[in-house]
A = this chain, B = another copy of it.
Amino acid sequence: MGLDRAMYSAGKSRARHSDAIGRLGASDRGEASRSPCQACPVRLRSICSGLDFDELEELEKIVARMTVGAGGPIFDEGEAARCRYNVTSGSIKIYKLLGDGRRQIIGFLFPGDFLGLAMADEYAYGAEAVVDSELCRFPRRELDDLINRFPTLENRLLNVTSNELAVAQEQMVLLGRKTAKEKVATMLLLFSRRAAERGMADNPVYLPMTRTDIGDYLGLTTETVSRTFTQLRAQRIISAGSGGRIWLEDLEILGTLMEGF
């Protein structure tokens, strides 16, 4: 069976940002290669961790690599859910839309994150690349077969899903009860911590997405996000870095804002 191949690419490339997030070796780029899952840099973070050699080999049989350009679509809300994905480099946003176009971004995914949880036959949300990204793609049917056969995989998936649920519940508090300033502070700290967990720079925080994306993630408008950043900068709680990076200058105040005292 030949490996599937896919290459989406969107208009404006944000390539100036794309090297800031871990990526695969150059030899793999733009090519659906026989996936060296054993050597995968994000394996230990992703659902594939804990699998033994044989299981990993079976997984490799059904995986396909793909690249998506910045802004490029991965799938739309409501579309038949044919595949599930694992992010290997870059950053992906997932979002839901209301009838009149209002958008809520329900998460940003980074290398090692799994894409396609919590959905049956149709995708319950849309997914788009924030920057040039790479993903492992699994046909849903075949992956679900493996999940049924490998308890390790199912257990891992339960852990991952539970974590996502806890994160989602925390985000409900943010959306329902925090002020604009608290929302932005929380996002900065959480992204910083998330980067640290991945062994990446946690200060300055790297925010590759637009102000509009941040607004749609925090339940705010672009303008309010912008004003809030200005305000935090004026109070020396943060300061501007280069290329979408933000220095966290006062972690204590940020923490207080996040906890809501």
Contact = CB atoms under 8 A, between A and B. Distances in A.
B173 A104 contact: yes
Interface stretch (A66-74, A155-163, A204-212, A238-246): A155-163
A260 B177 contact: no
Interface string A96-133: 10111011101000000000011100001100000000
A172 interface: yes
Contacts of A41: none
A259 B100 CA distance: 9
A256 B169 CA distance: 26
Contact of A169 (B99, B102, B125, B155): B125
B170 A172 contact: no
Interface string A158-198: 10011111101111110111100000000000000000000
A163 B102 CA distance: 23
A73 to B, nearest CB: 19
Contact of A175 (B176, B216, B261): B176
B99 A177 contact: no
Size range of the chain A interface in the assembly? 35 or more
A260 B158 CA distance: 32
Nearest to A218: B176
B172 A161 contact: no
A55 interface: no
A151 interface: yes
A119 B158 CA distance: 12
A127 to B, nearest CB: 13
B260 A173 contact: no
Interface of A: 96, 98-100, 102-104, 106, 117-119, 124-125, 148, 151, 154-155, 157-158, 161-166, 168-173, 175-178, 216, 218-219, 256, 259-261
The 4 closest A-B pairs by CB, nearest first: A98-B260, A176-B219, A99-B261, A175-B175
21 contacts: A96-B169, A96-B170, A96-B172, A96-B173, A98-B259, A98-B260, A99-B261, A100-B261, A102-B177, A103-B177, A118-B163, A124-B166, A154-B158, A161-B162, A161-B165, A164-B165, A165-B168, A172-B175, A176-B216, A176-B219, A177-B219
Given A161-B162, A164-B165, A165-B165, 17 more contacts: A98-B173, A98-B259, A99-B261, A100-B260, A102-B260, A103-B177, A104-B176, A106-B169, A106-B172, A106-B173, A118-B162, A118-B165, A118-B169, A125-B169, A161-B161, A168-B169, A176-B218
